[in-house]
Amino acid sequence: MKIKFRFSFAAVLVIPLYLTFLAFHTDIAQASDDAYDVKVPESKLAEVKALKNVVASNKKSLSEAKAIYTGKGTCFNCHGEKGRGDGELASSFEPPPRNFTLSGWQKVRSDGELFYVITNGTESGMPGFGDMLSDEEKWSLINYIREFGKSKSLASRK
Amino acid sequence: MAKKMKLAVLVLIGLLVSFGLNNGSYADETAKLTTAPEVPPALNRAGGAEVTVELETTEKKGAIAEGVEYTYWTFNGTVPGPFVRVKEGDTVTFNLKNSKDSKNIHSIDIHAVTGPGGGAKATQTPPGGKTAFQWKAINPGIYIYHCATAHIPTHIANGMYGLLLVEPANGLPKVDKEYYVVQGDFYTKGKTGAKGLQAFDVEKARAEQPTYVKFNAMATPGNLKANVGETVRLYVGNGGPNLTSSFHVIGEIFDTVYQLGAVGSEPAKNVQTTVIPPGGAAIVEFKVDVPAAYILVDHAIFRAIDKGAVGILEVTGNENPDVYKALKSGGADAGH
């Protein structure tokens, strides 16, 4: 009886801890090798990180951003409608397009860095949207991308 | 008073005529575009004109084989895109529009352009957007244009290419018929011949194992046509993305080939098969002496027989027994 109690106690305590570890570990494992690479040149990093998002994240701006994400921004083709990096063209890219649902990635990337990447693109195939989107549209998109990292959000709903 | 009126009218007419003449020599023109296999007429003017070219990128379904559909990405709704003809010395304004119904950004890299990305840097165009750039046609020749938006190989594999001719200052020698043919290799999820709408297979594309190899994959259907005694010129491009074409016309010899599209170089004479790399083109010319259906092929012959790289030049007219005649063979004793 005592042994059974101890086992149950361990199960209650250890299994959730293990599952938490597993979730965190899986989050890292799911990320491709370059997930945590800084995409901004060293010389511009401080300036870029200091950039502040000038668009408030609210229902209206997120709704507009969703229209860009799935429309003229064409983001969904690669990053997927739910931001999982699994769009129709994802398999054409190596490394694969960013999975925005990874919480670890969401934590390490500043809004300024995302603004830089959206504007200038990356060497791994992301096109630069410098002339195709206004600054305001880019900041709105960044708010929308942030929503993918939240479990209950506009972005995660269909 | 009447005399003064007459004078005024004459002066006005004179002014209008002189205005017309001043603008007539190098009038701005919009390039006449044609869908393969048609070619716009030769430019009966000197170089140095201001030419405008308008293209629109679209994504649309079309047949790739009988009972097999594919979603092509196109310039002006056809594969290859339209044939563009300008002259050495022209200044070309290129306007690119991307259909609002496109799902992807598109652009254009014209191999005839001297400048960043052949125009691709200036023409990354979102769905519903418009871009433009201007360039000078310095080097004569036949050039591929293609989309150059990431992932570039996917855009090309889906059919985004065509040909642009920069006529040399004195034009090309006159011929009787000109046609436009572009080869492309395609990669579908299903095997060759698998029915229904087929998706692009990037793994097959990376492995360079096409399910289809086509001439003018989604253009005006029908055979090329010529009459016995005519000289035919083919502008032949290769959009790729992967395969190098061994272009051959069964039953003909190319009298003249501008190899690699190198107008200005000494053309090759009496060529059976000419090599056309992806992103390249050639001009071949030959006189048709005998009536027949001449078959255009990529002589890497599995591509022709099994994967579709076939076209037909239908030549009609009188038989020419001096050049060719079939001899009546006998029965069993006519053997080897």
The verdict on a CB contact (< 8 Å) between A132 and B124 is yes
Residues 6+ apart with CB under 8 A from A40: A48, A49, A113, A116, A117
Q: Does the structure show a pLDDT above 80 at A2?
A: no
C-beta of residue B152 within 8 angstroms of C-beta of residue B73: no
Distance (Å, rounded) from C-alpha B79 to C-alpha B186? 12
Tell me the two tokens of residue B305: 């027989």
The verdict on a CB contact (< 8 Å) between A72 and B154 is no
pLDDT mean by block of 10 residues, chain B; 336 residues: 58 48 59 98 96 98 98 98 98 97 97 97 95 98 97 97 98 98 98 98 97 98 97 98 98 98 97 98 98 98 96 98 89 53
Q: Please give, rounded to a whole number of angstroms, the shortest distance from the CA of B122 to a CA of chain A.
A: 9
The verdict on a CB contact (< 8 Å) between B151 and A125 is yes
**What are B142's strand-pairing partners?**
B165
Indicate the residue type of B222.
Answer: G
Query: Euclidean distance between the first and final Cα of chain B, in Å?
Result: 100
For residue range A104-158, what is the model confidence (pLDDT) as tens digits? 999 999 999 999 999 999 988 899 998 899 999 999 999 999 999 987 655 555 4
Q: Looking at chain B from residue 135 to 154, which residues have their Cβ under 8 Å from any Cβ of chain A?
A: 149-151, 153-154
Confidence band of A39 (pLDDT split at 50, 70, 90): confident
For residue range B274-318, what is the model confidence (pLDDT) as tens digits? 999 999 999 999 999 999 999 999 999 999 999 999 999 999 999
Distance (Å, rounded) from C-alpha B141 to C-alpha B137? 10
For residue range A44-62, what is the model confidence (pLDDT) as tens digits? 999 999 999 999 999 999 9
Choose among A91, A129, A131: nearest Cβ to B202.
A91
Cβ atoms < 10 Å from Cβ of A76:
18
Residue with tokens 């993918």: A148
C-beta of residue B81 within 8 angstroms of C-beta of residue B97: no
Confidence band of A23 (pLDDT split at 50, 70, 90): very low
Distance (Å, rounded) from C-alpha A142 to C-alpha A114? 7
Q: Mean pLDDT score of chain A, rounded to an integer?
A: 82
Largest Cα–Cα separation, chain A: 71
Q: Please give, rounded to a whole number of angstroms, the shortest distance from the CA of B203 to a CA of chain A.
A: 8
For residue range B177-225, what is the model confidence (pLDDT) as tens digits? 999 999 999 999 999 999 999 999 999 999 999 999 999 999 999 999 9
Distance (Å, rounded) from C-alpha A14 to C-alpha B227? 87
Q: Residues of B with CB below 8 A from A118's CB?
A: none
- pLDDT for B22 equals 42
Choose among B103, B128, B149: nearest Cβ to A127.
B149
- pLDDT for A1 equals 46
- pLDDT for B328 equals 83
Q: Residues of B with CB below 8 A from A126's CB?
A: 150
Handedness of CA B40, B46, B52, B55 (dihedral sign): positive
3-state secondary structure of A48: helix
* pTM tops 0.95, yes or no: no
Distance (Å, rounded) from C-alpha A39 to C-alpha A8? 47
Q: Does the structure show a pLDDT above 60 at A28?
A: no
The verdict on a CB contact (< 8 Å) between B202 and A92 is yes
DSSP state of B137: -
Confidence band of A36 (pLDDT split at 50, 70, 90): confident
Length of chain B: 336
Residues 6+ apart with CB under 8 A from B234: B178, B179, B180, B181, B224, B283, B284, B285, B296
Choose among B104, B153, B203: nearest Cβ to A77.
B104
Distance (Å, rounded) from C-alpha A43 to C-alpha B322? 77
